[in-house]
Amino acid sequence: MFGTLRGALAGRKIAFDRDTFTAAAEGRIVGHGKTIRIRSIHVHYDLAVPADALEATERALAAHPQGCPAHESVKGAIEVTWDAKVRAGNRNVELRG
């Protein structure tokens, strides 16, 4: 999903700080012994964009899961969610999807 979001931002010509754009994923595994499975995956993004790009960034975040092959491959079997901390100019915005 990280790469898909990068592509969505680049496709919208949104300048973002590639050095501080990060994603951290955490998963929930259920089961016992040899029979386990991934129940859910949550991705947290942290990125900075220009102040005038906040609305387009929100749209890119909302649309990026549907463009991600990995998300589309597991969406019926594994719950995938995301949140993002976006710094747009002097504003900090928290988004969820």
* Low-confidence residues in the chain, pLDDT < 50: none
Using one digit for the tens of pLDDT, what is the confidence trace for 27-46? 999 998 889 999 999 999 99
Strand pairing category for 35-49 and 91-96: unpaired
pLDDT score recorded for residue 77? 94
CATH for 2-90 is: 3.30.300.20
pLDDT score recorded for residue 93? 95
Query: Would you mind telling me the total number of residues written for the chain in this entry?
Result: 97
Q: Does the CA dihedral 77-96-1-66 come out positive or negative?
A: positive
Domain ranges of the chain: 2-90
* Percent of the chain scoring above 70 in pLDDT: 100
pLDDT score recorded for residue 43? 96
pTM of the model: 0.88
Cα–Cα–Cα angle for 39, 80, 36, nearest 5°? 15
- Distance (Å, whole) CA 53 – CA 76: 32
Question: Comparing C-alpha atoms, which of 49, 67, 51 is closest to residue 7?
Answer: 67
Residue 19 near residue 40, CB atoms below 8 Å? no
Strand pairing category for 35-49 and 22-32: antiparallel
pLDDT score recorded for residue 79? 95
